[in-house]
Amino acid sequence: MKRAVSVFLTLLLLVPLFIPVITVRANDNITYNVLEIVSHANQLSSSPLKQELGSTSNINVTTMTMKRFVALRDELDGKYDAIVISSGDYNPTKLGMTTSSNRSASHNTTNILNDVTDLKAGQIKQFYIDKGLPVFLHDSSVKKYPTSKLYSYSQSNAWKSKTNVIFFTTNTNMKNYFATNGTKRPHFVLTNAPSSTQVYTKGDTLSFAYQITNYTQFQNKLLTVNLYIDSDFNDKYTSEEIVASKQVQGATGTISYTLPAGYSGPRYWKVEIVDETSALKDYEKGFVKFQNVPATIKVLQIRKGNDASSLLNTKNMNPNFLSRANEYSISIDVTTLTDFQKSKAYEPNYSHEVINGKYDMIIFGFADCYNGCGSVVSLNQNTVQSVKNFIQSGQSVMFTHDVMFGSNNVWVNEFGPIVQQIQPQTDLGNGAPNASTSTKQVNSGLMTNYPFALGDSITIATTHNQYYTLNLENESVIPWYNIDGSPRDVYDSWNHYYTYSNGNVTYSGTGHVGTTAAFPDEEQKLFVNTMYRAFFGSNHAPQLTVITPQENEKIPSNQPIELSYKVEDLDLVDRTFSTKVWLNDQEVYAQNNVPNGTTIIQSLPHNMPNGGIAKMKIEATDARGAKVTKEFQVIIEKVSANIEVSRTISKTLTPVDESIAMQYTITPKPLSLLTNTLLKVTNVAFEEKLSAGIEVVSLPNGFTKQGTITEGYTIKGVLPDISFIKSGTTYIAEPQTFAIQVKPTTKGTFSLSQAKLTYKDVNTQVVNLTFNALSFVSDYKITDITLPSTMFVNRGVPKNARLLLNVLPQEATIASVEWSENSNGQIISIDQNGVITAVQEGTAQVTVKVKDMFGNVKTTTMTVIVRIPVDSMTINDFTVHVGETIPIPITVSPADAKKAVSYSLGNSLYAEINGANGTITGLKEGVTTLTVQAFNRNDELIEKTVTVTVQAIPVTAVIVSPTVANINIGETTTLTATVAPNNATYQAVEWRSSNPNIASVDENGKITGVSTGQVTITAQAHNGVIGTAIVHVGSPLTGISLPSTLVVQKGKTINVLPYIVPIPANATTKIVSRSFTIENSYYAVVDQNGEVTAKRLGETPLTVKLTDENGKTWTASTVIRVVEHATDPTKGGNKNGWLY
């Protein structure tokens, strides 16, 4: 029975116990494992192949009879390097109906039923012949019986035409074969594995280390290591049970897995290394012990009548066997067939109508002639259908001794196909000839190993063969023990079966003396193992947890019943459930397709104003029909208080850290009183204790909170008095309302049931009222999901895409995951567990949709490539620029095989690959390697490695703007530099000034005037390319000045311009016009160029007016003093001899 792996629930993974301790081989020599099949048990100790090989040490032979081979259910794929069907007598004759005269002798089936089954022949072809592993067939032996299946298959073209199917007459020459050809299968040993004696718990990590002993043979091939956990206890490992997977990177490696929460018990694991191209593999198995949640198993035994076969009888079942601390507990109820067939109206406890949801397993047994034999015990059709529905829902049933007696009766007709007992009817057990108390183990697994490790042979109460042939063509049929004792062929599971299982149905031969004798301890332990395996290997009813209200909780009659319950199904395959609620036998709520793990919250009116008992019934049913029921009652109390309180919540499902509003209402009832006094309710106080993890967002005015979020806040507040006013013959008061906003800070289910109101009533009595309980659920919204862009798959090697799905945040609850692909099953197929199976070469797209608890759906896709063989590929060293994306320059033949090429970078710091598009993007300057891989038609790895140089896109020009700038001392301006081309890798430039004493520049191109002058500003790219700008630094004119007096000799001319002094002296402002005026031209005149001509002795003012480039006007004045050289000082003059 397969199990899906859900993203939504963490599910228990339990595994069988009895596996030998792993031993590590230190040498690198290959030991070839060979399966030899013989016809008779007397060939086992000294088989033809063992005699041929003698003391050959590197070939390990496992020899078994054909009967044992067809009954074994261990994994053939990956176990052996070759299969040999040795010389022998493979007689296909079946056993027919026996009679009292030949029945005893007919138990010896040694010389018949030695043919292969279709099931096993198909496995030989699929796992060995089709994969190129050798199959050796003794020519004359396989041809001896032309009517046999062995003859048909060996002579078919599918076998005979294959070069690896080798027919031999005397010897196989296997030693020479392996010396020449070796094996195509990878071999490995575990150098480290979890201890089988250590107890693991939730959160512990299982770590494995491996060494591939023939790695040199596979170093150019793609190997994958997978770790499986057997989650459905069917002793098989399927692709959906892969919990970790990684590509092999060398001869040694590791793989690990962290254990989730689950039931206590063993965990079976398998580590597998598989050659992706050929699907050839090797594996190792083991177990660990796990403790977490003890399993509680409920069993109903249905006896034929009131006999002594009850498992409650300590002679039949030691009570100490039924439980083990911290591991499991089994409880057994016992009834009779008569009571079981009644309706629940007449038998409410053990009716067939109540088994679904109440029991994990039912047992029909134990009695000789359980079905009545000659006088068949009737079984009504309703009971038959209930049992079939129970089985169909995946829950467990055990049938026992003599249930399948006779023919054409209700037991055989209805349940024969279910227990897989088929024609021919042999009646070997009729009359109980060759009774026995011993057994022989056939297969090993959880049934034989846990809770009790049973031996190869166990002692049982006296029993005998049954009456029909077991269907060994059904792979789900697993024989566990055969009846031993002469003259039986103990390996014959067709006829000598004692205990076997078919999925969730088990059959036991126990019961021949069940009413008169006790069951031996070993048989009792087998029963316990059977019940344990039945529980874990079958479909379980969902788990239903009622959060509110509690049993017999008191609810005011004015308030609804606030119901909240959570339904969880631990079975991986059950993703949704349906649920119903009844109140006082009336259905009040029903919902289908509810995601597993959902908390249901409903406010249910009870319509019981006068109070009473309200009966509640909740039912949850999984998709396969297994259901759980909870029944309880609450007490509705009639409210006599003058005030009613109630509250509502804005939503019952909210994201973490989002606010929820709770609205509180206080409603005074009308009062019929004969009084004229003022009626008032006083001292109205509110108090509520919140659950931990709830933050208070807002409170009404005057309310306070105390405490911490980790322990839960307490909110307190005082409300206004409530005044009643007379209205006719009654007194009424207005309702009061207030709101409190909170938000959950963690994921979880929150129940709020501690809100109360205290007040002093109109009669001065103190009254305490409780608000109705509220519940809500907080969770995380899914923000993103991702898958790798590309996945490669090979035919024969399914891949589990679920392992690659990443959901963010990881804490978010997943309501559903939906997988699909766009090839319509032509290229690949994908199941709802995310397991991808290759169909034929080509490319397809896988889409996954993940929905969270809020209904938000996130979608992502992944390209899946079924590899196409590559004939050749050409690629050389190449260059890519930083930031540039180019197609990888590879030529592949044939062209459509290009998508089958995989790429890997030596250093992802410098570039990144998009495998789906076949492109490479430069990230950073540098050099890395690119390795391209593909497989040719011989499943050999073609690999080439080239050098990838990641270069910058060079700067070809730098443009500085503006190209000319003018600033004054102390002023700033900023230049910009633009590089060309605009996708150049390095956009930054370095600025510098030709003379920082005139103008400085910083790293951002900001120019600061320092002194007057002209500089060149340069912007230089990383590769030396420059751009320039000219910057003029000036000093602004603030004024002009002239000497107070200019002395001019009479008749002479001077120019005023040299005497004009700019302020400041280094002013650089340009003068665009000048004008000169003299107040009294009698003494001197001035022209437009500033030339002053002295005419007569004396003085006159002169004014200069300048206009600068900015339009500003500047003026300055002086006195022109005209003098003349004194020739006769006596006539006047100064001491220097000048006249003026």
Q: What is the CATH number of the domain that holds 274?
A: 2.60.40.1930
Structure tokens given for 469: 């042939």
Instruction: Give the CATH number, domain containing residue 766.
Output: 2.60.40.740
Structure tokens given for 476: 């789900």
Query: Which residue type is seen at 4?
Result: A
CB neighbour burial string for 403-425, b if at least 16 within 10 angstroms, e if fewer: bbbbeebbbbebbbebbbbbeeb
Regions of the chain where pLDDT drops below 70: 1-28, 514-517, 571-573, 674-675, 938-939, 1127-1140
Nearest in space to 170 (alpha carbons), one of 87, 90, 56: 87
| Cβ partners under 8 Å of residue 141, min gap 6 | 39, 85, 86, 87, 88, 89, 90
1018 vs 963: CA distance, rounded Å: 10
767 vs 662: CA distance, rounded Å: 23
pLDDT recorded at residue 21: 33
- Do residues 451 and 434 make contact, with C-beta atoms less than 8 angstroms apart? no
CA torsion through residues 284, 290, 293, 297, sign: positive
Report the run of H or E that residue 801 belongs to, with start and end. none
Domain membership of residue 40 as a residue range = 32-181
Nearest in space to 271 (alpha carbons), one of 208, 206, 223: 208
- Do residues 356 and 383 make contact, with C-beta atoms less than 8 angstroms apart? no
877 and 940 belong to one structural domain: yes
Report the run of H or E that residue 734 belongs to, with start and end. none
886 vs 377: CA distance, rounded Å: 80
Structure tokens given for 762: 């109109």
555 vs 954: CA distance, rounded Å: 80
DSSP state of 1112: -
* Residue whose token pair is 């997978």: 226
Structure tokens given for 825: 């099953």
805 vs 635: CA distance, rounded Å: 49
Residue 1124, classed as helix, strand or coil, is strand
662 and 706 belong to one structural domain: yes
Residue 37, classed as helix, strand or coil, is strand
- Do residues 115 and 169 make contact, with C-beta atoms less than 8 angstroms apart? no
Residue 1056, classed as helix, strand or coil, is coil
**For residue 615, what are the CA distances in angstroms to 552, 561, 580, 581, 636?**
10, 11, 14, 11, 10
61 vs 47: CA distance, rounded Å: 10
Helices 381-392 and 410-419 pack at an angle, to 10 degrees, of: 10
- Do residues 9 and 596 make contact, with C-beta atoms less than 8 angstroms apart? yes
DSSP state of 550: P
- Do residues 1043 and 1021 make contact, with C-beta atoms less than 8 angstroms apart? no
Which among 831, 865, 899 is the end of a domain? 865
904 and 822 belong to one structural domain: no
3-state helix, strand, coil in the chain (%, to 5): 10, 45, 45
- DSSP β-bridge partners for residue 1102: 1078, 1118
287 vs 95: CA distance, rounded Å: 40
Parallel, antiparallel, or unpaired: how do β-strands 59-65 and 32-38 relate? parallel
DSSP state of 707: S
* Residue whose token pair is 């398998």: 270
884 and 809 belong to one structural domain: no
Which among 779, 796, 821 is the end of a domain? 779
410 vs 443: CA distance, rounded Å: 31
Angle ∠(40,45,49) on CA atoms, nearest 5: 80
pLDDT recorded at residue 516: 61
pLDDT recorded at residue 514: 56
The answer to whether residue 512 is domain-embedded is yes
DSSP class per residue in 105-142 = HHT--TTS--PPPHHHHHHHIIIIITTT--EEEEHHHH
The answer to whether residue 551 is domain-embedded is yes
Residues in the chain: 1140
**For residue 225, what are the CA distances in angstroms to 4, 343, 527?**
21, 54, 37
Parallel, antiparallel, or unpaired: how do β-strands 361-364 and 295-303 relate? parallel
Structure tokens given for 780: 């995380």
Terminal CA-to-CA distance of the chain, rounded, Å?
Answer: 136
Q: What are the E-state strand segments in 464-523?
A: 468-470, 477-483, 497-502, 505-508
- DSSP β-bridge partners for residue 136: 84, 166
The answer to whether residue 5 is domain-embedded is no
945 and 1063 belong to one structural domain: no
Give how many domains the chain has, as a whole number.
9
111 and 199 belong to one structural domain: no
941 vs 695: CA distance, rounded Å: 60
Q: How many CB atoms lie within 10 A of CB 198?
A: 9
The answer to whether residue 12 is domain-embedded is no
- Do residues 649 and 660 make contact, with C-beta atoms less than 8 angstroms apart? yes
**For residue 364, what are the CA distances in angstroms to 375, 401, 403, 507?**
18, 9, 8, 10
Nearest in space to 484 (alpha carbons), one of 471, 465, 505, 512: 465
722 and 737 belong to one structural domain: yes
The answer to whether residue 58 is domain-embedded is yes
- Do residues 866 and 795 make contact, with C-beta atoms less than 8 angstroms apart? yes
Query: Which residue type is seen at 477?
Result: V
Residue 175, classed as helix, strand or coil, is helix
In the sheet that holds 1053-1055, the strands lie side by side as 1053-1055, 1091-1094, 1084-1086
Instruction: Give the CATH number, domain containing residue 814.
Output: 2.60.40.10
The answer to whether residue 7 is domain-embedded is no
Cis-peptide, bond into residue 735, ω within 30° of zero:
no
Which among 261, 290, 319 is the end of a domain? 290
Parallel, antiparallel, or unpaired: how do β-strands 1084-1086 and 1091-1094 relate? antiparallel
The answer to whether residue 1132 is domain-embedded is no
162 and 201 belong to one structural domain: no
DSSP class per residue in 306-350 = S-S--TTSTTT--GGGGEETTTEEEEEEEEEHHHHTS-TTT-TTT
Report the run of H or E that residue 567 belongs to, with start and end. strand 561-568
1027 and 1048 belong to one structural domain: no
DSSP class per residue in 957-984 = EEEEESSEEEEETT-EEE-EEEEESTT-
348 and 440 belong to one structural domain: yes
734 and 647 belong to one structural domain: yes
645 and 596 belong to one structural domain: no
Q: What are the E-state strand segments in 584-678?
A: 586-595, 599-604, 612-622, 627-637, 643-649, 653-655, 660-668
The answer to whether residue 1138 is domain-embedded is no
155 vs 127: CA distance, rounded Å: 18
Query: Which residue type is seen at 1022?
Result: H
Cis-peptide, bond into residue 595, ω within 30° of zero:
no
* Residue whose token pair is 């083991």: 286
* Residue whose token pair is 């480290």: 192
Instruction: Give the CATH number, domain containing residue 981.
Output: 2.60.40.1080
135 vs 977: CA distance, rounded Å: 78
Q: How many CB atoms lie within 10 A of CB 845?
A: 15
